[in-house]
A and B are shown apart, each in its own frame.
Chain A
Amino acid sequence: MRENVVIRTVTRLAVPFILVFGLYIILHGSSRAGGGFQGGVIVASAFILIGIAFGLDETQRRIREKVRTIASILGISIFIGIGLLCILFGANFLGYAAIPLPLDTPWVRGLMMEAVEIGIGITVMAVMTSIFYDVATKEEGE
């Protein structure tokens, strides 16, 4: 890939802001218009931008496929784990209210929803990044 100072510098500057914005969206999943999917996509867009600016091979080495797969498994596990935790405490699946935290019910619900959103966010981020890299790179022995 040809050197392009402008793109690289802009990417360097923009990526931290994109990441923060993505996290902001993820963390506003329970009380505001945010959520795991939207935030995850934004975070993934940062990684895709890095891939475009710095070359796919370079980025592939930094964010390896294994890491992405582990991240996606981790995210779904958080979601399923919290759901099953609710069953364990006697409620239905994802019945957050039953989780015994020293807080009021709306707070518990909000907190647990955030946790689930974070899980979804991690998965979406990992999967979106994977889709881009897997489709964009030439497959070697796939």
Chain B
Amino acid sequence: MISEHLPILAVILPLVGALTVLLAGWAERRYCYPVAVAVLTIQFGLSLAILREVLRGGTIHYYLGDWAPPWGIELVVDHLSAYVLVILVFLSLLSCIYAKRSIGGEIDPQKTVAFYVMFLLLVVGVCGITVTGDIFNLYVFLEISSIAAYTLVASGREKKGLLAGFNYLIMGTISACFILIGIGHLYVVTGTLNMADLARLLPPLYDSTIIHVAFIFFIVGLSIKTALFPLHTWLPDAYSHAPSAISVLISTVISKMGIYATIRILFSVFTVGFIVDHLPILEFFAWVAAIAVIAGSVIAIAQTDLKRMLAYSSVSQMGYIMLGIGIANSVAMTGGVLHILNHALIKGCLFMVAGAIIYRVGLRKIDDFKGLAGRMPYTCAAFFIAAISMIGLPPTVGFMSKWYLTLGAIEAGEWFFVVVILASTLLNAIYFWRVLEYAYFRHADAETPELESRVPVSMLLPMLVLAAGCVVFFFAVSIPLGIIDAAVADLLGGA
């Protein structure tokens, strides 16, 4: 009986969890953390069950309130949504486990309850986005998770986090407003909000100016949300000044959510017929993404603060995913979608390492990392693996996604993009090598005080799990690829 209600439960469960955390927080502040972890663990099980259902029976449709679409709100879970859902819930779970100790020094103890409540509300929004098949619903869930993200970014003790949160709020809200205007334009000409119905009704209207306007609003709005290069200005501050656990959460979950929304709007609402054959917008998208890849890497090299460097590296990695989408043949798409998993694992791990270093030895500047490997061996090992994966060397999953992206670019005959990917690999290597060199090969200054530098298990474990994931998925890449192939076929087959 439960199995047919899985999509809605994926939204309801974290919501109930948020309320439970609130109640538990009243009884005793300590209870919040175990309750939140328990809820997210169940949620992870639920998302795996959804994935299994999708793999077994194909796309799940769920009609809220028994109203058939296009009148009622429909929840749709296909391969892509299930895949993204599992990744996002898993990363939320790990960053929640990680949060226990890491927020100790970064957040006032009185705010712990509110912190976990917002955390779970963010998961509500994220899960809602992945399961919904209704375009307005997508906007609402996007806003739920974004509002939670604004508050979480500003929740730390660090003063700059407040400004970062405020800027993020202004940018995020402009983008949401653009998306809302786009939805309005689509509704004017079609009279429906259901994605599948829109995809069915739009083709005869491809020449309509209103559709073009709607599309542009969507593109601009979603580009701000995903922090595509020229519109990325909110990202570095938000990532580097947020509490560490939140840096992990927004760099993996929130950014992927934007990517997912973009893919949905581009391929499930406007469909390939519009974006490839009618308006050559994807070409443009790919070029912007290529610029993002290079520019993000170049700016990252110039950074001295580790978290900030990782933030700019995120800008460039978003570019990779968008590049895969922009080239839009099945191989490159596979690379792009695989990079969603890849980037979630790597960036989660790297931000966790950055957070652990700040937590234990209080260092943010890369120049201060001399001899760090001796003091924090496991943390630096995790960083090493993740950095290799980011550069794209085997045996890590980063190699696989870059491999597919390159193959896709070659197949499309876009040699320039091949050059971009290779060049950015070199740039990645430069800025990660610098960190590794300081951590492993420079000796600590004599006057550095010997600090207690053991990282608590609740922080070390998620880090190592993610680092192990980078290696495991290189060998077991067929597991995600099986899902991705079906997802890409869905997306490209809509034409």
Contacts and interface: CB of A to CB of B under 8 A. Distances in A.
A95 B66 contact: yes
Contact of B19 (A76, A84, A93, A97): A76
Contacts of B66: 91-92, 95, 97-98
B423 interface: no
Contacts of A93: 5, 8, 12, 62, 64-65
B15 A92 contact: no
B139 interface: no
Interface in B1-55: 5, 8, 12, 15-16, 19, 22-23, 26
Given A80-B16, A92-B8, A73 B65 contact: no
Contacts of B5: 87, 92-93
Interface string B109-144: 011000000000000000000000000000000000
> Of residues A83, A94, A142, which shows the largest number of chain B Cβ atoms within 10 Å of its Cβ?
A94
A37 to B, nearest CB: 13
B62 A80 contact: no
Given A93-B64, A95-B66, A142-B110, A80 B8 contact: no
Contacts of B12: 80, 83-84, 93
A69 interface: yes
B19 A96 contact: no
Interface string A71-89: 0010011001001101100
Interface in B55-72: 62-66
A98 B66 CA distance: 10
Given A92-B8, A93-B8, A93-B12, A77 B19 contact: yes
Contacts of A142: 110-111
Nearest to B114: A142
Contacts of A76: 15, 19
Chain A interface size, under 10 / 10 to 19 / 20 to 34 / 35 or more: 20 to 34
A104 to B, nearest CB: 16
A77 B20 CA distance: 11
Interface residues of B, number: 16
A102 interface: no
Interface SS, B side: helix
A106 interface: no
Given A92-B8, A93-B8, A93-B12, A73 B64 contact: no
A131 B22 CA distance: 17
A141 B110 contact: yes
B110 A92 contact: no
B19 A92 contact: no
Contacts of A95: 65-66
Contacts of B22: 69, 73
Nearest to A98: B66
Contacts of B110: 141-142
A66 B27 CA distance: 12
Contact of B65 (A77, A84, A92): A92
Contacts of A141: 110
B15 A80 contact: yes
Contact of B64 (A80, A84, A92, A98): A92
A57 B62 CA distance: 48
B124 to A, nearest CB: 11
A97 B16 CA distance: 24
A91 B15 CA distance: 21
Nearest to B5: A87
B22 to A, nearest CB: 6
B65 A94 contact: yes
B384 to A, nearest CB: 41
Given A77-B19, A91-B66, A92-B65, 9 more contacts: A83-B8, A84-B12, A93-B8, A93-B64, A93-B65, A94-B64, A98-B66, A141-B110, A142-B111
17 contacts: A69-B22, A73-B22, A76-B15, A80-B12, A80-B15, A84-B12, A86-B65, A92-B64, A92-B66, A93-B5, A93-B8, A93-B64, A94-B64, A95-B65, A98-B66, A142-B110, A142-B111
Nearest first, the 7 A-B pairs at minimum CB distance are A95-B66, A94-B65, A93-B8, A92-B66, A73-B19, A95-B65, A87-B5
